[in-house]
Structure 1
């Protein structure tokens, strides 16, 4: 995984196995250089704001995309998503929900709270790996982000 100085992807995942599989899939596709992993929503916010363990990180350097699980300890993904999308300095960062839940209510809630995409984690490793690579390629290679905050 990359240093936290210039992440391209902030992976917010409490399940160590899922995080390892995601990073491994991205490494195989040569897309893992800019991946930084945190374990919960609070750690994600600390990372983005350069607080707590991340005070040495420049908060002006933001990831190109956040991959966010919703069911996590401390601060869950929905609360983290709401805070990111409510902040004028962070709201332009695409937030992709990666969840094991395919519940209609979870999907609708995440979109109401500002998620840019919602993806149910595939159970089969090969499909999970393909999904991670497709997400990274789209958001890092094809998506055209705004050049500044639009609020």
Structure 2
């Protein structure tokens, strides 16, 4: 895993963002964590649109941690957008949410989520979860090469 590894964390709950950032720093993971707070921002970031056009400042991520319940566009809408674009469809997406409802889980997998994880209630469990995510998704997993295809905005 190189220092150029980027994780996009899509989360609107500032407490969850703070906890993930804290455990990311504490775990000394060799990745950069970028955060956006709603579904529309996630799509703009992934598409390199609007204020996220500077790919030096907002590099394309290697992995997305996506909450389900988001303002403006839901996590499922973001996931559907990701899978509908040739430039993003192979991007690994992990749903990281508080919902353990079977309808939500089925919907996420039906739309192409790579994994569905329920946010743990304990800080130590969150640290363990982030460690496992890094080891598997950014270490052992062999990702598809992302192609340089223009992203569509709709």
Q: Distance in 1 between matches of 2:13 and 2:5?
A: 20
SS class of match (2:34): strand
Q: Are 1:136 and 2:134 counterparts?
A: yes
- In the alignment, the residues of structure 1 paired with residue 138 and residue 39 of structure 2 have an alpha-carbon distance, to the nearest angstrom, of 22
TM-score normalized by the length of structure 2 = 0.86
Residue 23 of structure 1, aligned match among 5, 21, 24: 21
Which of these residues, 45, 50, 53, is aligned with residue 52 of structure 1? 50
Deviates more, 1:17-26 or 1:75-84: 17-26
Contact 1:65 1:93 in 2 (8 A): yes
Q: Deviations over 1:39-77 (max 9, x none)?
A: 01110110111112112236xx52110000010111110
Q: Which runs of 4+ in 1 moved over 3 A?
A: none
Which blocks of at least 5 consecutive residues in structure 2 are unaligned?
148-154
Match of 1:90?
Answer: 88
C-alpha spacing 1:10/1:91, structure 2 compared with 1 (3 Å): same
Q: Counterparts of 1:33 and 1:92 in 2: how far apart (Å)?
A: 19
- Give 1:118-137 correspondences, 5 Å limit: 118-137=116-135
Distance 1:148 1:130 in 2: 28
Q: Is the 8 A contact 1:41 1:80 kept in 2?
A: yes
Question: Normalising by structure 1, what TM-score?
Answer: 0.88
Provide the C-alpha distance between the structure 2 equivalents of 1:17 and 1:66, rounded to a whole number of angstroms. Answer: 19
- Note the aligned Cα RMSD (angstroms): 2.1
Which sits farther off after the overlay, 113-122 or 22-31?
22-31
Instruction: Name stretches of at least 5 consecutive residues in structure 1 with no aligned partner.
Output: 1-5
Q: Which residue number in structure 1 is paired with residue 33 of structure 2?
A: 35
**1:7 Cα deviation after fit:** 5.6
2-structure distance, mates of 1:103, 1:117: 15
